[in-house]
Amino acid sequence: MDRILYIFLVVLLFGVLIAIHEFGHFCTAKLLKVKVNEFSIGMGPLIWKRTRGETQYSLRALPVGGYCAMEGEDEDTGDPRAFACQPLWKKFIILVAGSLMNFLLGLVIVVVLFWGSSEEMSPVIQDFAEGFPSQLQGEQGLQAGDRLLRIDGHAVWVYEDINLFLSRNDGEGMDLVVLRDGQRVQLRDFPLERAEYSYQGQAYTGFGLIFGGVEEVSFLGQLKLSFLRTLDFVRVVWMSLGDLVTGHVGISEMSGVIGIVDVVSQAGTQAGSLAVGVWNVFYYMALIAVNLAVMNLLPIPALDGGRIAFLLLNGLVHLLFRRTIPEQVEGYIHAAFLLLLLVFMAVIAVQDVWKIFLEVH
């Protein structure tokens, strides 16, 4: 029963993420005097509607998102307030607003989750595990009290970054930057590798660095850390995309909505208490909100980023040749890529179902 409740919660939150995205488009369209024909929360059969002014506000049966239907999104309908008739800067703001809302939602969730916390784990080395090579310690290596600032070029913003970036190293030596006695110390090609260690009688696999110190954080400091954690989500998404493009991660390792719902609901179910379970679910939802923000801005036709790319391309073409890309041609391209995306999502969905089936059996 708990698993079903968590699955329902995750599906509902997915709908909220998409609805918030569309609300960003809606608000900016209204502010910029662009005609909005319908704003809907939910998809599918209509449950309730009310028309105020020129816009129909709808509530639909399936809590899996929503939409903002603007006049003339893909073609000029002759209405001077249609989206297609607006100047480039207005279109740009409206298209970016959806992703911006998703990012802000992720930030708000993170702020709420860490609200009231006055202490933070510190990225300062406290000790070394038993078996950590002595030749890697000292003035030419690492010392207790060193604060990790950068790992392989990536800034360490919060404590969680340490394991993230250490685990991504290819084993050929790390470039570290630490703060030692107020001075930045660079350690190039530092041979820090994952191995078997023990500490206080407990064996574990890791890098042999012992952290565990805490630092007092003010209210403003916690807000700053929440913002940095949200930016960390952006880095994680970009690194994941890079892994996919370079072949470090295959399509078989990807997950769609079904797989994500399964993973997040497991994170809730396997938690030690209801409070921790709900905390885990909302933490994942903050990550997913930022993921949606980034993915929607990719320059792929049918996505907001693809539409923005066409805006910029059209501006360039008009500047150089005093012509624009025909709206019908752009519409065909968006439609073709939308079909490809739907097919790709269907393939990933089947893969997710198969993975869940194998886990169950």
pLDDT of residue 325: 82
Q: Residue 254: its pLDDT value, please?
A: 75
pLDDT reported for residue 171: 67
* Residue 22, pLDDT score: 92
Enter the CATH code of domain 120-216: 2.30.42.10
C-alpha to C-alpha distances, 100 to 104, 260, 301, nearest whole angstrom: 6, 22, 19
pLDDT tens digits for 139-154? Answer: 889 999 999 999 999 9
Q: What pLDDT shows up at residue 117?
A: 82
Regions of the chain short of the pLDDT cut 70: 1-2, 64, 170-171, 360-361
CATH 2.30.42.10 residue spans of the chain: 120-216
pLDDT in tens, 153-180: 999 999 999 988 998 876 678 999 999 9
State the pLDDT at residue 353: 83
Whether this model's pTM surpasses 0.95: no
